[in-house]
A and B are shown apart, each in its own frame.
Chain A
Amino acid sequence: MNSKLNILILAVAVILGFSLAGTAFAQRAAQEAVLEDRVQGDPLAGLELATISCAEVNWDRRMLAEYPWSPEACHDVVISGGEHWARFEIDFLGREPDGTIRAEFIGPDERSHGIVNLEPGDNQRVLLDGQPYTWDEVFEGQRLSLFAPEGEFGFAGAPDAPRGQMARRADEVPPVEDDEQMRLAEAEEDPFAERPRELPATAGPLPMLGLAGLLSLLGGIALTIRRRLGRPTI
């Protein structure tokens, strides 16, 4: 009798164990699915766009020195707590053993502006479809938004986040491959490297076209006059 009861208890325990494990697995899978779905979520959900463009943001000098591509990489400007926040999009590449975050900044034209290692702020949260998540809860490859307050240095996970939760540069991954990334590397060293090496030439091709047309027409007129004057009179 006792052995039958033991077997019954064991069977119930095993079933319960499998059931709980299955539920936990299902919950985790569901959570992952939700998170993964939110890769494509609306990055501006619940946010209010400001009336100024990225070009009009009063960028912090250190921001321009460390990240000279900021105006180009900025997607738009949102307003929160009466402040302007420049919104950037990053591809989250994962966490390093030292806790820093590897992020690739992607511009509005889908162009990469380089990979940056950021030191996350304490308890920093990032928004996915308007909901806050810790860095441990997001997945590699997810597209996330970071926000830089106007006139300040650093990236917040959400607009209006406490200043203590701002991520700052931990290290810059040396650029690789193409000329564009080489150019960005130079820009990192020199905040004004983005400006042209000489003042822009501003001559259009139109005057050449006009001059060529005028000369051709004058040639035609001259030939006509010459032909008419050279015609024998009767």
Chain B
Amino acid sequence: MPDRSPHVALELVCWTVGLLLLMLFFGARAGLENLRQHGVEVFVEARDTAGQQVVDENDSRPLSQPAKEQSIPIALLRIPRLSLEVPVYRDISEFNLNRGAGWVHGTAGPNNDGNMAIAAHRDQHFRPLKDVAVGDILELESLSRQGSYQVTSLSIVEPQDLWPLDPTDESTVTLITCYPFYFVGNAPLRYIVQAVVMN
């Protein structure tokens, strides 16, 4: 009996740590999902009020406040077939990638001419991309414009392969996430979805 007590202690530690980590995991997932939903709501609110902002000296200028501007998504990305709806923030900081997708700097802005690249975590918001197919419709809504795009290509590239960020003549949206989709840690490849604007 005495020689068994260390095993019992280890057993207890394993159960406790395991349960705590799993609770943390599911709690964090729920929290991030809330952040995503909140981002969508903030975007919708900003879109609805953006048209009413005529500024005079007494105006509070809500959108010109840097701190608030940082928290407003610049666009909303949807792929209806995959039930994917994610806010797109103005950079790919870890905070933004946790609460949505991020706009890759050096690429075109949303619904503009050229190629806009958007990145997000493959194990969170871009997980549905594993089921995306050529021909799927992608919607990108910015504060004043809405664009519909059709997926034209799916590629797997090395991280150093930068052609997905190259400018394009046609208005294009390029989605970037890690590959393989089921991989613990930093996956070695990148999954690229390119969609071209529909006329």
Contact = CB atoms under 8 A, between A and B. Distances in A.
B57 A195 contact: no
Interface string A72-84: 1001100000000
Contacts of B12: 220
A68 interface: yes
B159 A198 contact: yes
B57 A42 contact: yes
Nearest to A129: B57
B22 A213 contact: yes
A94 B178 CA distance: 49
A49 B53 contact: yes
- Most B CB contacts (10 A, CB to CB) among A72, A76, A199, A209 go to A199
Contacts of A207: 123, 184-185
A102 B12 CA distance: 69
B119 interface: yes
A223 interface: yes
Contacts of B150: none
A199 B110 contact: no
B66 interface: yes
Interface in A213-228: 213-220, 223-224, 226-227
Contacts of B198: none
Given A45-B56, A53-B74, A195-B107, A202 B97 contact: yes
Contacts of A215: 18
B121 A203 contact: yes
B176 A220 contact: no
A200 B117 CA distance: 10
Interface in A30-70: 42, 44-53, 55-59, 68
A223 B13 CA distance: 11
Q: Which of A59, A193, A213, A218 has the most CB of B within 10 A?
A: A213
A57 B157 CA distance: 30
A105 B159 CA distance: 33
A108 interface: yes
Main secondary structure of the interface of A (DSSP, over half): loop
B11 A223 contact: yes
A176 interface: no
B84 interface: no
B56 A199 contact: no
A199 B122 contact: no
Given A51-B144, A55-B110, A206-B28, A220 B21 contact: no
Interface string A179-216: 00000000000001111111111111011111111111
A211 B112 CA distance: 41
B3 to A, nearest CB: 11
A71 B104 CA distance: 12
Nearest to A231: B4
A59 B108 CA distance: 9
Interface string B1-36: 000100110111111011111111100110010000
20 contacts: A44-B64, A49-B63, A52-B144, A52-B145, A53-B63, A76-B63, A108-B69, A130-B57, A194-B105, A194-B106, A195-B165, A199-B190, A202-B177, A204-B123, A206-B29, A213-B17, A213-B21, A214-B22, A215-B18, A220-B11
Smallest CB-CB A-B distances: 6 pairs: A195-B106, A213-B21, A217-B18, A220-B14, A216-B18, A220-B15
